[in-house]
Amino acid sequence: MIRSILYFILAGICEIGGGYLIWLCLKDHKSPLYFIGGAVILILYGMVPTLQPQTSFGKVYAAYGGIFIVLSLLWGWLIDGMRPDAFDIAGGIVSLIGVYIIMYAPR
């Protein structure tokens, strides 16, 4: 379970980080190297979920959605200075409960 969670976190960092670099290039007019770096990182993001021990593509991506929500809120707070409010935190908790049910609940 810990390995699986680490892969989810790595995938999230790749997806959000890659998207952020492209955002900086297109919205903040940064160097095209930001775009290229973001694209490479997004390709890595596409590869990371294949490391998951779970063999169901649908389950992995459904659960990843919950992790992505929480990581996006953390990114917004730590990088953009947008502190999550009580509703953001509640939504993040609900999404993590969904991740647990989909990926780790005993069957």
- The domain limits of the chain are 2-104
Tens digit of each residue's pLDDT (9 = 90 or more) over 4-41: 999 999 999 999 999 999 999 999 999 999 999 999 99
Long-range contact set of residues 67-70: C-beta below 8 Å, sequence gap at least 24 = 67/5, 67/8, 67/9, 67/11, 67/12, 67/95, 67/96, 67/99, 68/12, 68/15, 68/16, 69/95, 70/95, 70/96
pLDDT at 42 (0 to 100): 98
pTM of the model: 0.84
pLDDT, one tens digit per residue, over 51-105 is 998 888 899 999 999 999 999 999 999 999 999 999 999 999 999 999 999 999 9
What pLDDT does residue 53 have?
87
